[in-house]
Amino acid sequence: MLNKKMKIVIAGGGTAGWIAAAALSNQMGEILDVTLVESQEIGTIGVGEATIPPMRTFHRLLGINEQEFMRATNATFKLGIQFENWKQIGEKYFHSFGITGKQTLITDFIHFWLRGRELGIANEFGDYCLEYKAALKDRFSINDQAKINYAFHLDAGRYASFLRARAEARGVKRVEGKIAEVQQNPESGFIASLKMDSGQEIPGDLFLDCTGMRGLLIEQTLQTGFEEWGHWLPCDSAIAIQTESTTPAVPYTKSIAHHAGWRWKIPLQHRVGNGLVFSGQHLSKDEALNMLLSSVDGKVLTEPNVIKFKTGRRKKSWNKNCIAMGLASGFLEPLESTSIHMIMTAVTRLLQLFPHGEIRQSIVDEYNAQAESEFVRIRDFIILHYKATERDDSPFWRYCKDMEIPVDLKHRMELFKDFGKSNQVEGELFRLDSWTQVMLGQGIVPSSYHPIVELMSEQELQNFLKSVAAEVDKNIGMLSTHQDFINKYCGAM
């Protein structure tokens, strides 16, 4: 045990602040003194309501009961994302959370599928994936016979409240009020304390900046710098509203491209989250709002929340004794539902590299290197959706189609086009299946496949493909409808 508890001060609440508070108090509460500062007068964006499967691992780390969490947040299940109008207007494809087919040590399933497609004996690629077919048939269950990979749609505000209750039960202290001044050590430049508008001073050893895009500590105080990526991701605005549910919730998010960006539809138990992401250079705010309002079903429950953003990242996520988390660390549009995940990886990274007493530069450098790698890999995956398009119906899409892209992404796209290979980097969030589904969906079809698949006779290949598809169909038969399972498993009161 340390002789003295390390003082952690979290500036800002919302999803980022309370995820950090809940995780730190759960894992290291006995040796930390955690204080979270937030003001009820400062609103949170609260639109990151779709998630990805690693969230379940994080919840297990915190000992969170899934049914309790889902009831508290009016959550539904998510098996992937349906993309509409991204390749061409009127076309759809699906990025599922599942593994498609079966692969060998030598090569991936797509090579068997490509050969089968050439011979005219292969089904649609998604027919070999349980999660894909379950989503489109509106089926879902959790059972040992048909194991399924899933995430959630949730109410972000209720999720923050749920985590707050857990954190406070473990000793996290919450201070209400606005931060009037960030006080620094005159010699080291380290943050010494936060001075509240009430006059109260809150000293700390390590400060977590969860103040959103304004980055009160990491940027306004420490002037860390920001690396902009708007030339690759030209959308800079979003509008979000909530509507009443008019139909049962489907187990997937919808992402529907329009002439200057895209819009989302996220079904919860009690309502639907809707939003429109756009480039202000190609669409005015009033035009965007009219487009969004004309596209929704059901009664509008909230005033439109207009969000301006810059895509990019802080040049350092950890600077001196301050770590930026959530929107304070950077912004990537929510196209692949990564915002909550990146908060969770940030706090997990801190737990793994937690300093023992003095903050040493080697730890800071390692944290920053890992954070940068994560940001860049996810950024490239999102750029892929824009670059690999056949749309040329608007200036926005013509720009995306013609723009220069990062070297690593260009190599990945060329490798897939030439050989059907998705080159996954160690520790990368998005797996081979994700890259494969999006590239195929966006119209990048490999021109060749691995020669080893020709060792199979046509009949053997046909039998193999049929057996994989039959196994998927057998498992689909074991699943309930999504709504029936929600009602039984986690229906909100």
Taking only the tens of pLDDT, the chain with its 493 residues reads 456 899 999 999 999 999 999 999 999 999 999 999 998 876 665 556 999 999 999 999 999 999 999 999 999 999 999 999 999 999 999 999 999 998 777 889 999 999 999 999 999 999 999 999 999 999 999 988 888 999 999 999 999 999 999 999 999 999 999 999 999 999 999 999 999 999 999 999 999 999 999 999 999 999 999 999 999 999 999 999 999 999 999 999 999 999 999 999 999 999 999 999 999 999 999 999 999 999 999 999 999 999 999 999 999 999 999 999 999 999 999 999 999 999 999 999 999 999 988 999 999 999 999 999 999 999 999 999 999 999 999 999 999 999 999 999 999 999 999 999 887 777 789 988 999 999 999 999 999 999 999 999 999 999 999 999 999 999 999 999 999 999 999 987 5
Nearest alpha-carbon partner for 233 in 317, 327, 331, 345: 331
CB 5 within 8 A of CB 31: yes
Q: How far does Cα 490 stand from its chain's mean position?
A: 23
DSSP conformation letters of 55-119:
HHHHHHHHT--HHHHHHHHT-EEE-EEEEESSSSTT-EEEEESS--S---SSS-HHHHHHHHHHH
Half-sphere exposure of 105 (CA within 13 A, CB side): 0
Give the per-residue pLDDT at 426.
Answer: 76
Which among 266, 271, 275 is positioned nearest to 240, based on CA atoms? 275
Residues 99 and 471 sit within 8 Å (Cβ to Cβ): no
Options 7, 78, 254, 265, the catalytic residue: 78
Q: Which pLDDT value is given to residue 48?
A: 62
Written as one string, the DSSP assignment of 298-316 is S-B-S--EEEE---EEES-
Q: Name the one residue in this structure whose structure tokens are 């912004």.
A: 331
pLDDT for 144 equals 82
Q: Which pLDDT score, from 0 to 100, does residue 210 have?
A: 97
Q: Which of 339, 314, 342, 343 is nearest to 329 (CA)?
A: 314
Stretch (H or E) spanning 158: helix 156-169
240, 270 contact by CB (below 8 A):
no
For the chain, the structural domain boundaries read 6-76+153-230+311-375, 98-148+406-481, 237-308
What's the pTM value of the predicted model, to 2 decimals? Answer: 0.96
Measure the CA–CA gap between 443 and 385, rounded to whole angstroms.
Answer: 10
Q: Which residues have a Cβ under 8 Å from the Cβ of 172 and sit 6 or more positions away?
A: 21, 22, 24, 25, 34, 35, 36
Would you report the helix, strand and coil content of the chain in percent, each value rounded to 5?
40, 20, 40
> Domain 6-76+153-230+311-375 is in which class?
alpha beta
pLDDT of 43 reads 61
Among 284, 340, 291, smallest CA distance to 162 is for 340
d(CA 343, CA 442): 29
**4 included as an active-site residue:** no
Q: How far is residue 63's CA from residue 59's CA, in Å, rounded to a whole number? A: 6
Residue 50 DSSP one-character state: B
Which strands form 179-184's sheet, in the order they lie side by side?
179-184, 191-196, 201-203
Residue at token pair 């959790």: 142
Category of 476 on φ-ψ map: left (φ > 0), alpha (ψ -120 to 50) or beta: alpha
Query: 46-82: string of b/e by CB count within 10 Å (b at 16+)?
Result: bbbbbbbbbbbebeeebebeeeebbbbbbbbbbbbbb
Distance of CA 408 to the CA centre of its chain: 21
Burial class (CB in 10 A: 0-12, 13-18, 19+), 402: exposed
Cβ burial of 260 (10 Å; 0-12, 13-18, 19+) is buried
Nearest Cα to Cα of residue 106 among 452, 470, 376: 452
Per DSSP, which regions of 318-464 are E strands?
318-319, 322-324, 330-331
Using alpha carbons, select from 209, 168, 178, 213 the residue that is nearest to residue 191: 209
- Structure-block tokens of residue 168: 């406070």
Decide: 291 and 195 in contact? Cβ < 8 Å.
Answer: no
| Calpha distance 78→241 (Å, rounded) | 20
Q: How far, in Å, CA of 344 to CA of 361, rounded?
A: 23
pLDDT at 1: 46
